[in-house]
Amino acid sequence: MIAQDASRFQDLRRIQTNIAQQVVLEGPAGAVTSIGAVAQSFADDLAFSCAILVDASMNVIDEATAIAKTTVPYIPGLLFFREGPVAMAAIKKLRKRPDVLIVSGCGINHPRFAGLASHLGVELNMSTVGVSQETLCGDYVEPGEACCFTRLTFKGRPLGFVLKTVTGARPIFISPGHRISLQCALQVVQRCVVNHRLPEPLRLAHVKARHFRSATRSGQLAPIRTADTAGRPAHNQ
């Protein structure tokens, strides 16, 4: 079965190479008014996702969740295939698509230039930016004090930025996902930094995803239909 996995993963890598060719590093066209974020939480073989939309003051104005059974283990470089499906389900449940969606993971700072944020952006045809606490690849100089940032490069290409958001905390990695420029990706995240290491929308999405997971597992939430898992339109709440 090891050999089968190897060829299966090879197929997934080919899919990423194809996705990378579709990534657009420009945009968004208009002003970025609404910003959203999506994050996942896991337990056993279940994946819980929460997508939110915030206003200019970082207040949550919309929220959606989704659950799905995981079909792929965590493999560095193949995160989309584990987290992408649930994330997409949650994002699709939002009442309105945000102008830019912040994703918990890498954008083009990926071995094949197709991280979770880029793949989600291409699949959903929306502007996305990847924000991660570590980077899969790339060269950079550690940014000094808070609010400072340095460039992240890989194989001679600019992939994003390393931003020190809070004093005393390690920096975060920002890279465009899809339909967004390097500069805009950085600006959107900078605009969302409040008092924490992660930009507020993403931090909130993380908290809500974890809460959604614990509330669901402890039975404090209405039973979830298996519709999510089957990929059919789900209807929670």
Partner DNA sequence: GCGACAG
Partner DNA sequence: ATCTTGTCGC
Question: Could you list the residues that contact DNA (CB under 7 A)?
Answer: 39-43, 74, 76-80, 83, 104-106, 110, 115-117, 130, 132-136, 206, 209-210, 213
What gap in Å lies between CA 11 and CA 115, rounded to an integer?
Answer: 16
Please report how close the Cβ of residue 60 comes to DNA at its closest, in angstroms.
19
Beta bridge partners of residue 39, listed in sequence order: 50
Nearer to DNA, 7 or 167 (CB): 167
Nearer to DNA, 63 or 212 (CB): 212
Please report how close the Cβ of residue 38 comes to DNA at its closest, in angstroms.
10
Nearer to DNA, 61 or 190 (CB): 190
What gap in Å lies between CA 62 and CA 60, rounded to an integer?
Answer: 6
Burial of residue 165, with CB atoms counted within 10 A of its CB: 0-12 exposed, 13-18 middle, 19 or more buried? buried
Quick check: bond before 98 cis, omega within 30?
no
Report the side by side order of strands in the sheet with 149-154: 60-69, 46-54, 35-43, 100-104, 128-132, 172-178, 157-163, 149-154
Please report how close the Cβ of residue 29 comes to DNA at its closest, in angstroms.
25
Nearer to DNA, 9 or 61 (CB): 9
Please report how close the Cβ of residue 31 comes to DNA at its closest, in angstroms.
27
